[in-house]
Amino acid sequence: MKNNTTPATKQAKTTSPYVFKPTTEKAEEKAGSVAPAKSGANGKWVIEEVKGKYWFSLYAPNGQMMLESATPYATLSNAKAGIKTYQDNIAAGHLEIAEHKNGKFQVLVLNARGGLLSMSSTYSSHSQAENASASIQRWAQATTIEEAENE
């Protein structure tokens, strides 16, 4: 009997508790063809200061938070540079869909070396995570950066 198995795909090295599922060619094609935003609609990045540290989040036009920075930044300019890093890595397609052991899915934003930058909310299906990945790609290139008012 012939062995029809194929070699395992190379996966990013992390110490993450997630099980990585390789992206299929079909999903890669879909991710590369993200539809442009509707005319007038735009996502935005929001920077918030908390206890002297800066954090940022990416929001879709409907107000849904898509991503948030995983680490704080010491200065406002560093947070803005962090947004640029996220934008560059998302534009380069450094996104993966990870499956938790409990069957939930998340979109991971990775750097060029495969290190984890951020994770999305969790989704109950792979297709929901794929849709979230497409939205992240669409809205991440937003040039609007707002500074949240501290209360």
User: How far apart are the C-alpha atoms of 91 and 32, rounded to whole Å?
Assistant: 9
100-111: per-residue pLDDT in tens?
999 999 999 999
Residue 36 has pLDDT above 60, yes or no: no
The three-class DSSP label of residue 6 is coil
Q: pTM of the full predicted structure?
A: 0.70
User: What would the pLDDT profile of 90-146 be if each residue is shown by its tens digit?
Assistant: 999 999 999 999 999 999 999 999 999 999 989 999 999 999 999 999 999 888 899
Whole-angstrom distance, CA of residue 109 vs CA of residue 94: 6
Residue-level pLDDT at 148? 84
Q: What is the mean pLDDT of the chain?
A: 78
Q: Domain residues of the chain, as ranges?
A: 19-31+40-146
Q: Cβ–Cβ contacts within 10 Å for residue 85, how many? A: 14
Query: What is the predicted pLDDT for the residue at 31?
Result: 35
Judge contact between 132 and 107, C-beta under 8 A: yes
Domain range 19-31+40-146, its CATH number among 3.40.470.10, 3.30.2180.10, 3.60.15.10, 2.30.29.80: 2.30.29.80
42-87 pLDDT per residue, tens: 889 999 999 999 999 999 888 889 999 989 999 999 999 999 999 9
